[in-house]
A and B are shown apart, each in its own frame.
Chain A
Amino acid sequence: GQQLNQSPQSMFIQEGEDVSMNCTSSSIFNTWLWYKQEPGEGPVLLIALYKAGELTSNGRLTAQFGITRKDSFLNISASIPSDVGIYFCAGRVPRSGNTPLVFGKGTRLSVIA
């Protein structure tokens, strides 16, 4: 089945720094999504991408759908303590009908004030 490789696995950064994480796939995806999960909560959708090359922002977050359709990037600018959490990428392969999302294993972000 499809696999998503998400990197880095964890990051420790200083408050105010920019963060970059990425996700690669062995298969072509037609949808990329980024989620954030905080302790004790379910994942929350941050950004959804539907077209190759698409660049979308949500506040300090920016994500891109790679041109090859096999990767996606998430950047967080000027990090703050509340950015702490696990960030998951998720993708969906192009196929007739509804196919479930495949999730990466997550990037655990720690922000040092």
Chain B
Amino acid sequence: DSGVTQTPKHLITATGQRVTLRCSPRSGDLSVYWYQQSLDQGLQFLIQYYNGEERAKGNILERFSAQQFPDLHSELNLSSLELGDSALYFCASSVVGTSGGDTGELFFGEGSRLTVL
């Protein structure tokens, strides 16, 4: 158990719909990262939040958005869903180093498997 909690574990929806994926980081971790993993693909970085603020953006589509709340949990919103959005979506939180910076060591949740029909 990594300590990172993601819900839901599985989600099936139709094209054009909107879904929200939720993530609770490990206790004490301030950074939350979202990654997308498609079939036979590696992990594609979507977006990072640190203590409630957006820190870095990757290949995240305009139809997708995220936020991190004061209690540090994060939500990833996916809208106008397309078939190609079917994937595993992982949230990860990162250990904070002694200097206060991000060590880069990510701890991943079990993922949310999204299927768009």
Give A51 to B49 CA distance when docked, in angstroms: 26
B42 lies within 8 A of A31 (CB): no
Let me know if B50 is at the binding interface, CB within 8 A.
yes
Chain B residues near A31 (CB-CB < 8 A):
104
- In the complex, A99 Cα to B111 Cα: how many Å? 22
Interface centre among A44, A100, A102 (most CB of B within 10 A): A100
Establish whether residues B107 and A45, one from each chain, have CB atoms under 8 Å apart when the complex forms: yes
Check A98/B2 contact, CB under 8 A, given A42-B109, A45-B107, A48-B105. Answer: no
Count of interface residues, chain A, beta-carbon cutoff 8 Å: 24
Interface residues on B, range: 20 to 34
Chain-B contact segment, one of A55-63, A71-79, A103-111 = A103-111
Q: Are A88 and B101 in contact (CB under 8 A)?
A: no
Q: Tell me the bound Cα distance from A103 to B41 in angstroms.
A: 10
| A40→B110 contact, CB < 8 A | yes
B106 touches A98 (CB 8 A): no
Chain A residues with Cβ below 8 Å from B45 are: 100-103
| Nearest opposing residue in chain A for B108, CB measure | A42
Q: Decide: A44 and B108 in contact? CB cutoff 8 A.
A: yes
Answer whether residue B18 sits at the interface, using C-beta atoms and an 8 A cutoff.
no
Instruction: Specify which of B4, B44, B56, B110 is in contact with A99 (CB 8 Å cutoff).
Output: B56
B103 proximity list for chain A (CB < 8 A): 48
Instruction: Check if A105 sits within 8 Å of B2, measured CB to CB.
Output: no
Residues from chain A with Cβ under 8 Å of B102 in the complex: 98
Residues of B within 8 A of A33 (CB): 104-106
Partner of A88, one of B43, B50, B109: B43
In the complex, A6 Cα to B90 Cα: how many Å?
21
Can you list 12 A-B contacts (CB < 8 A)?
A: A42-B2, A42-B4, A42-B90, A43-B108, A92-B104, A98-B31, A98-B48, A98-B101, A100-B56, A101-B33, A103-B44, A103-B45
Interface residues of B (CB under 8 A from A): 2, 4, 31, 33, 35, 40-45, 48, 50, 55-56, 58, 90, 92, 94, 101-111
The 9 A-B pairs at the shortest CB distance, nearest first, are namely: A42-B108, A98-B102, A105-B42, A103-B43, A100-B45, A103-B42, A31-B104, A92-B104, A43-B108
